[in-house]
Amino acid sequence: MDAKLRIVTQLPLRGLWTDRGPITACKGRALSSEAIRELLRCGPVQFVVVDVGLKPRWISRDDCYRFWMDEVKQHLAEPSAPVANDGVYFYWAFEWQSDEIDGPIVVLELRH
């Protein structure tokens, strides 16, 4: 399959890919807002937004701090807290590791 045409078909996500093809990566822990802030204090983070029916959206590492403040922070569901289904979208965040990507990867699974 052409990687440029590949879309997310289910969540939770089982693998990562870009337009160039699959990435060898493994899913790690669920992340709280505090855990993401800690990662950001250490340097740029690679955010990836995934939603069923769409391609993964890789956020530029140069834009990670703005993206965190303007988008993720107010829509992040805490791993240990219940989420109300009130029609507002939210993200579940997971840390992924890969030798192919520099720095931490935070995959944001969009739920609505």
Give the H or E element holding residue 28.
Answer: strand 26-30
Whole-Å CA distances, 57 to 46, 60, 79, 84, 106:
11, 9, 22, 25, 12
Range of the domain at 79: 3-111
pLDDT exceeds cutoff 80 at 1: no
Q: 55-107: per-residue pLDDT in tens?
A: 999 999 999 999 999 999 999 999 987 776 677 899 999 999 999 998 999 99
How many whole angstroms separate alpha carbon 63 and alpha carbon 66? 6
Whole-Å CA distances, 10 to 40, 65, 80:
28, 28, 22
- Coil, strand, or helix at residue 27? strand
How many whole angstroms separate alpha carbon 49 and alpha carbon 29? 16
Handedness of CA 38, 39, 45, 48 (dihedral sign): negative
Domain count, the chain: 1
Percent of the chain with pLDDT over 70: 98
What is the mean predicted confidence (pLDDT) over 5-25?
95
What is the reported pTM? Answer: 0.94
Q: Is 84 left (phi over 0), alpha (psi -120 to 50) or beta?
A: beta
